[in-house]
């Protein structure tokens, strides 16, 4: 490698590293905006719920440096920041915008995922229960953002060209996530899917608290294939 090539390599490396650090710092700043928005929302809802008909839980919890939890009624939302920076795939719709074409480095983004879980899944340690990714927020070096997600979240916040993140935007996203979660109800599964269970599955799964529950599952037995196969072999002896 020549001296010139070495110098060019160094410049490219530093430029890419600085870009990713800029994106990371912006993503961390947005995560802190979500943290503040979640805490303020929970405090407000808790205050309004005083002297209500039932005691409704409204809780905020910091689960780590990059993860926060908000609990409201029977639901939990978890905001989780990924510590790496990603480039948007070439076939993604935002890559066709003049905004990205003018400056390809705008396609490098940090991600904050928003998950929805049932509160009882954590309360009763139902480790086989399902959670759902209801949205993921992409933030670039310019503090522009868009969201991939469900209904109220993804369909509204998808203008990468003009949407700039700030405290108001973060609070609006938190409120939209709560509203979507409220309308994302727990459904009972089809009767035919749950009408039959053998004794081995029932005893072993109840002992392990492995009745799997999720908003689009309702509840269902998840038979461990290895256990069932072992039982079949035992019956054949």
Tens of pLDDT, residues 174-230: 999 999 998 877 767 677 766 777 777 666 665 544 556 766 654 443 434 443 344
| Tokens at 56, concatenated | 């409704």
Q: pTM of the predicted model, to two decimals?
A: 0.82
Q: Of 14-28, 137-151, 190-204, which has the strongest mean pLDDT? A: 14-28
Model pLDDT for residues 48-79, shown as the tens digit of each residue: 888 878 888 999 999 899 999 999 999 999 99
Q: How far apart are CA 79 and CA 136, in angstroms?
A: 9
In eight-state DSSP terms, residue 186 is -
Cβ atoms of 142 and 166 closer than 8 Å: no
Please list, in sequence order, all residues whose beta carbon lies within 8 angstroms of the beta carbon of residue 5, skipping any fewer than 6 positions away.
none
Strands 86-87 and 211-214: unpaired
φ and ψ of 61, to 5 deg: -145, 135
H or E element: which one contains 53? none
HEC states along 33-55?
A: HHHHHHHHHHHHHHHHHCCCCCC
pLDDT at 105 over 80: yes
Geometric angle at alpha carbon 172, from 169 and 173, rounded to 5°: 90
Q: What is the share, in percent, of the chain residues with pLDDT greater than 70?
A: 80
Q: How far apart are CA 36 and CA 216, in angstroms?
A: 30
């Amino acid at each position: 490698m020549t001296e010139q090539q070495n110098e060019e390599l160094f410049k490219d490396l530093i430029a890419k590293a600085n870009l990713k650090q800029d994106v990371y710092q912006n993503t961390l700043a947005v995560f802190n905006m979500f943290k503040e928005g979640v805490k303020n929302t929970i405090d407000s809802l808790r205050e309004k719920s005083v002297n209500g008909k039932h005691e409704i839980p409204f809780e905020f919890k910091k689960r780590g440096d990059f993860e926060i939890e908000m609990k409201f009624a029977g639901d939990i939302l978890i905001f989780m920041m990924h510590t790496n920076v990603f480039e948007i795939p070439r076939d993604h719709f935002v890559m066709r915008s003049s905004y990205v074409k003018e400056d390809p480095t705008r396609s490098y983004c940090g991600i904050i995922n928003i998950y929805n879980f049932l509160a009882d899944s954590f309360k009763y340690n139902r480790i086989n229960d399902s959670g759902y990714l209801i949205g993921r927020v992409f933030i670039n070096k310019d503090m522009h953002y868009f969201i991939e997600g469900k209904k109220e979240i993804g369909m509204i916040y998808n203008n990468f060209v003009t949407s700039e993140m700030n405290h108001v935007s973060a609070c609006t996203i938190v409120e939209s996530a709560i509203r979507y979660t409220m309308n994302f109800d727990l459904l009972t599964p089809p009767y035919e899917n749950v009408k039959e269970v053998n004794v081995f599955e029932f005893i072993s799964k109840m002992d392990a608290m492995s009745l799997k529950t999720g908003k689009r599952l309702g509840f269902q037995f998840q038979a461990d294939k290895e256990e069932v196969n072992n039982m079949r072999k035992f019956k054949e002896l």
